[in-house]
C-alpha cells in the first residue's frame, strides 16, 4: 500500500490548489498591507492532509508552499506552509482554537537540503517498518488489519493505523514494536473512510480519490452519510455510482446535492400513487413513480398493461397551465 504524502506535493491537482492559495495570499496582502505582516501565525499541512497551526515567532515568514520544520509532540516534523497571516487567523477563529494560542507549537525553521535528505531516508524506511508491524501482528495473533504506518521525521515516533471490528488488546504488540524500533509507538484505530483515504488510489473518474488529494476532514462532509442522500438517489444506494471504495456513499454526493435539491423541488408536481387519469387509450391508474429517472408508470385496469411516461410528458398531457 502506498503512503499518502502531503497533498501539497501530490500531483497536478495539488499544484493548482497551492497556486490558488498563493493567489489568495497575494490578494490579501494587497488589501490589508502591513496588517498581514503583523501576524506570526502559520497553517502548515503535514502528512495525509493534516493541517495544524504554528507560531512563527522567529520572523522567518516562509512563503506559501514552502517546506518547513515544526515542533511535534516532543520532537519535530516536516510540513508545507498552506496559509499564513490574516487567512490563518480567520481559520483559527472559525475552528474555535483562539484560546489555545499560548500553547501553540512553534515553526522551527525553513527546511534545508539536509532536512529533505532526512525526510527521504524516513520515507525509504517506512516500508520496512510496515512489514515488521504486519509480521508482529500475526505473531501476536491479533484480530486487526494493518492499514498504514507513519514514521515521524525525527524517527522518535511510529504511528500505526489499523481497523478492527472490536476492541483489541495490543499492549504486548506495542512493547514489542517499541523494543524493535527504539521509538514511541502510537496505535490509531481508523474507519473504512480513512482506510480508503490512505490507499491513495484512483476513483471511477480516473483521478486520485478526493479524500486522498484535497479533502481535509472527510468525516465532516455533511452529505457523506446515507440519511443525507436524497430520495431520488436512495433507490440506487448500492450501485456503482453511489458507493465509493470505502463501501460508503461517495463524498461526490455532496457536490451533486444542489442539482438534486432542484429535482426534489419538482416532486411536488408528481401525482399521488393510486390516482386515476384519463388518457387517449382509456382510464389509467398511477402505478409507481421513479424520482431518480423522473418517470411515472401508468397501469390500465382493463388489460393490466403498463406504460411509462417521463415527468415532462405527464406534465404536458395532464397538468393544467
Query: The CATH number of the domain where 294 resides is what?
Result: 2.30.30
State whether 164 and 207 are in the same domain.
Answer: no
E strand or H helix that includes residue 157: strand 157-163
Residue 58 lies in a domain: yes
Q: Is the pLDDT of residue 147 over 60?
A: yes
Residue 31 has a pLDDT of: 61
Of residues 190 and 30, which shows the higher confidence score? 190
Helical H runs in the chain? 11-32, 34-38, 85-94, 113-139, 171-181, 192-199, 210-213, 231-234, 253-265, 311-318
Within a domain: 127: yes
Sheet (strand 282-290) strand order: 276-279, 282-290, 295-300, 305-310
Same domain (yes/no): 18, 94: yes
pLDDT at residue 4 tops 60: no
The confidence score (pLDDT) of residue 47 equals 81
Q: Is residue 21 part of a domain?
A: yes
User: Domain check: are 291 and 256 in the same one?
Assistant: no
Domain boundary among 111, 145, 165: 111
Of the pLDDT bands very low, low, confident and very high (cuts 50, 70, 90), residue 27 is low
Last residue of a domain, one of 172, 189, 206: 189
Residue 318: which pLDDT band, with cuts at 50, 70 and 90? confident
Mean pLDDT over 255-271 rounds to 55
Any domain includes 2? no
Identify whether the C-beta of residue 181 lies closer than 8 Å to the C-beta of residue 133. Answer: no
> Is the same domain home to 84 and 136?
no
Phi-psi region of 60 (alpha: psi -120 to 50; beta: other; left: phi over 0): alpha
Q: What is the mean pLDDT of residues 41-55?
A: 85
Q: Which of 90, 111, 132 is the last residue of a domain?
A: 111
Q: Is the predicted pLDDT of residue 18 greater than 50, yes or no?
A: yes
| Domain region containing 276 | 270-318
Quick: pLDDT tens for 212-258. 777 766 654 545 444 444 444 444 444 566 778 888 777 777 666 54
98 in the same domain as 15: yes
Position with higher pLDDT, 120 vs 312: 120
Indicate if 87 and 104 belong to the same structural domain: yes
CATH number at residue 124: 3.30.300.20
Residue 15: per-residue pLDDT = 62
Whether 208 contacts 9, CB under 8 Å: no
CB atoms within 10 A of CB 42: 26
Q: Is 94 within a domain?
A: yes
Tally the domains of the chain. 4
Mean pLDDT over each residue of the chain, to the nearest integer: 78
* Residue 45 within any structural domain of the chain: yes
* Of 20-24, 134-138, 190-194, 314-318, minimum mean pLDDT range: 20-24
pLDDT in tens, 167-181: 999 999 999 999 999
Whole-prediction pTM: 0.64
Q: Residue 1 domain-assigned?
A: no
Is residue 139 in some structural domain?
A: yes
The answer on 185 and 200 residing in a single domain is: no
Task: Indicate the pLDDT class of residue 29, thresholds 50, 70 and 90.
Answer: low
Amino acid at each position: 500500500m502506498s503512503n499518502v504524502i502531503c497533498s501539497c506535493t501530490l500531483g497536478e491537482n495539488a499544484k493548482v490548489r497551492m497556486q490558488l492559495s498563493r493567489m489568495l495570499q497575494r490578494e490579501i496582502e494587497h488589501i490589508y498591507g502591513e496588517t498581514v505582516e503583523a501576524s506570526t501565525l502559520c497553517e502548515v499541512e503535514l502528512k495525509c492532509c493534516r493541517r495544524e497551526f504554528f507560531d512563527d515567532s522567529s520572523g522567518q515568514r516562509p512563503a506559501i508552499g514552502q517546506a518547513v520544520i515544526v515542533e511535534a509532540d516532543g520532537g519535530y516534523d516536516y510540513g508545507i506552509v498552506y496559509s499564513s497571516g490574516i487567512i490563518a487567523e480567520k481559520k483559527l477563529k472559525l475552528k474555535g482554537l483562539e484560546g489555545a494560542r499560548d500553547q501553540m507549537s512553534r515553526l522551527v525553521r525553513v527546511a534545508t537540503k539536509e532536512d529533505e535528505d532526512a525526510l527521504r531516508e524516513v520515507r525509504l524506511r517506512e516500508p520496512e517498518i510496515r512489514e515488521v508491524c504486519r509480521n508482529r501482528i500475526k505473531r501476536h495473533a491479533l484480530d486487526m488489519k494493518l492499514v498504514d504506518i507513519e514514521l515521524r521525521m525525527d524517527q522518535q515516533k511510529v504511528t500505526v493505523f489499523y481497523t478492527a471490528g472490536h476492541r483489541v488488546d495490543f499492549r504486548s504488540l506495542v512493547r514489542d514494536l517499541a523494543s524493535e524500533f527504539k521509538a514511541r509507538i502510537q496505535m490509531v484505530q481508523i474507519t473504512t473512510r480513512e482506510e480508503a483515504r490512505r490507499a491513495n488510489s484512483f476513483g471511477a473518474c480516473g483521478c486520485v480519490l478526493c479524500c486522498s488529494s484535497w479533502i481535509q476532514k472527510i468525516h465532516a462532509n455533511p452529505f457523506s452519510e446515507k440519511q443525507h442522500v436524497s430520495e431520488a438517489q436512495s433507490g440506487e444506494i448500492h450501485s456503482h455510482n453511489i458507493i465509493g471504495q470505502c463501501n460508503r456513499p461517495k463524498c461526490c454526493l455532496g457536490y451533486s446535492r444542489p442539482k438534486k435539491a432542484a429535482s426534489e423541488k419538482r416532486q411536488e408536481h408528481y401525482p399521488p400513487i393510486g390516482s386515476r387519469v384519463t388518457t387517449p387509450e382509456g382510464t389509467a391508474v398511477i402505478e409507481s413513480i421513479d424520482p431518480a429517472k423522473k418517470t411515472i408508470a401508468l397501469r390500465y385496469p382493463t388489460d393490466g398493461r403498463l406504460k411509462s411516461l417521463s415527468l415532462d410528458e405527464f406534465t404536458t398531457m395532464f397538468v393544467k397551465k
